[in-house]
Chain A
Amino acid sequence: MAAEPLVTQMRKGVLDYCVLALLHDRSRYGFEIVQTLAAIDGMLTSEGTIYPLLGRLRRDGLVQTEWKESSGGPPRRYYRATSDGRRALRAFREEWSTFRAGVDRILASGGPA
């Protein structure tokens, strides 16, 4: 638990892109996104915060929404990445692998050789 603020800080920059990745190939509804993220340790501590995030992605044109009937329950709002969203994700992937490699190198050796 002591490490939580650290994880929170690290998550801040990447959660948007994790959500975009989930919505890259198919649409999902809010609760489904929450469940998927919650199953991964440290990705989502306060599930309620995912909804402001989804709203922001939509306002920024990175995801689009669609209402679909659900079996039994009320209609669900489904989210899906737009072409802008997929482009943003692609850019992030490249940055991320460079960044991760850099951090790993520093952590392993104490600095660039």
Chain B
Amino acid sequence: MTAPHADQIIAGYLARLEAALAPLPSSRRQELIDDVRSHIAEARGALADETDADLLTIIERLGEPSETAAEEMAGTRAASSTATTVPSGGRQNLLEILAIVLLLVFWPAGVVLLWISDLWTTREKLIGTLVPPGGYLGIFFFGPVLLLTGGGFGCGSWSGSTTGPDGQTVTTSGTNCPPGVVMALFGVLGAIVVVAVLVSPIFTAVYLGRRLKRRSRIDSRRGAESQPRLVG
């Protein structure tokens, strides 16, 4: 059960933290706030039945926002030499943005970048890879092949002749087309499938983009590229 004043308590704390972090660039500030927010969520998840007092304990254990902010600012000073060389802005997610664009226009390269990035989970990467497999390249290369081989639903006409018992030739002819309603249904279904397939890469791109935006961070890529700047 949710504590009666859970939202107010948490929002109040996060607002104080945000105010204390005001001097920092917004991406850095947002990252820390996200960290603290998920900390609170994890702590709440561990409670069987929370009360306001439980929430206040969680908040109290986190400590004063000013203390957390001071720790974060201390980190800024130490890393300031590198921080100034990287402008705060979208540049840090170049790899991820490129991955999303390439998934649309040149899928193989997009997939490689998708898996290199450490900002998506494995599940998200699988969705990016498999919806649809091959992206637009896959659709345009394999789509027609599938249509041709799967074209058994087509209808054609037939005619044949048999020789009757009396020696006369009997000619029969007709079509194997299903009734008009069924054909129309197939047509509509086919159109829906085609549209869904054509739109799916865009959906995937939007999905990955939103996940990225939620956790796009200055630092994680730099960490992954392992450019050591401080040891010991």
**Interface positions of A (Cβ within 8 A of B):** 29-31, 34, 38, 45-49, 51-56, 58-69, 73-77, 82-84, 87-88, 91-92
23 contacts between A and B (CB under 8 A): A47-B62, A47-B63, A48-B65, A49-B63, A49-B68, A52-B68, A52-B72, A56-B78, A60-B228, A60-B230, A61-B222, A62-B231, A64-B118, A64-B220, A64-B224, A65-B118, A65-B224, A67-B118, A69-B121, A74-B38, A76-B38, A82-B223, A91-B232
Whether the pair B231, A87 counts as a contact (CB closer than 8 A) is yes
CA distance A76 to B230 in the complex (A): 26
Q: Which of B199-232 contact A (CB under 8 A)?
A: 215, 219-220, 222-224, 226-232
Q: Which 7 A-B pairs have the closest CB atoms?
A: A46-B63, A31-B42, A52-B72, A56-B75, A48-B62, A48-B68, A52-B71
CA distance A56 to B121 in the complex (A): 22
B61 at the binding interface (Cβ < 8 Å): yes
Whether the pair B35, A58 counts as a contact (CB closer than 8 A) is no
**Interface positions of B (Cβ within 8 A of A):** 17, 28, 31-32, 35-36, 38-39, 41-43, 45, 61-65, 67-68, 71-72, 74-75, 78-79, 82, 118-124, 215, 219-220, 222-224, 226-232
Whether the pair A83, B31 counts as a contact (CB closer than 8 A) is no
What B residues does A66 contact at CB under 8 A? 118
CA distance A30 to B52 in the complex (A): 23
CA distance A47 to B28 in the complex (A): 19
Closest-CB distance, A97 to chain B (whole angstroms): 15
CA distance A31 to B229 in the complex (A): 26
Task: Out of B41, B222, B231, B232, name the residue touching A73 (CB < 8 Å).
Answer: B41
Chain B minimum-CB-distance residue to A75: B121
CA distance A13 to B75 in the complex (A): 14
CA distance A73 to B227 in the complex (A): 32
Task: Out of A46, A55, A61, A75, name the residue touching B75 (CB < 8 Å).
Answer: A55
Given contacts A55-B32, A68-B122, could you give 7 more A-B pairs where the C-beta distance is less than 8 Å? A31-B43, A47-B63, A48-B62, A49-B71, A55-B35, A65-B223, A73-B42
Tell me whether A67 and B119 are in contact in the complex, defined as CB-CB below 8 angstroms, given that A55-B31, A59-B75 are known contacts. Answer: yes
Whether the pair B72, A55 counts as a contact (CB closer than 8 A) is yes
Closest-CB distance, B9 to chain A (whole angstroms): 15
Chain B minimum-CB-distance residue to A54: B35
CA distance A82 to B170 in the complex (A): 84
Chain B minimum-CB-distance residue to A60: B230
What A residues does B64 contact at CB under 8 A? 46
What B residues does A77 contact at CB under 8 A? 35, 38, 215
What B residues does A47 contact at CB under 8 A? 39, 61-63
Tell me whether A59 and B79 are in contact in the complex, defined as CB-CB below 8 angstroms, given that A49-B67, A51-B68, A64-B223 are known contacts. Answer: yes
Task: Out of B39, B71, B124, B231, name the residue touching A88 (CB < 8 Å).
Answer: B231
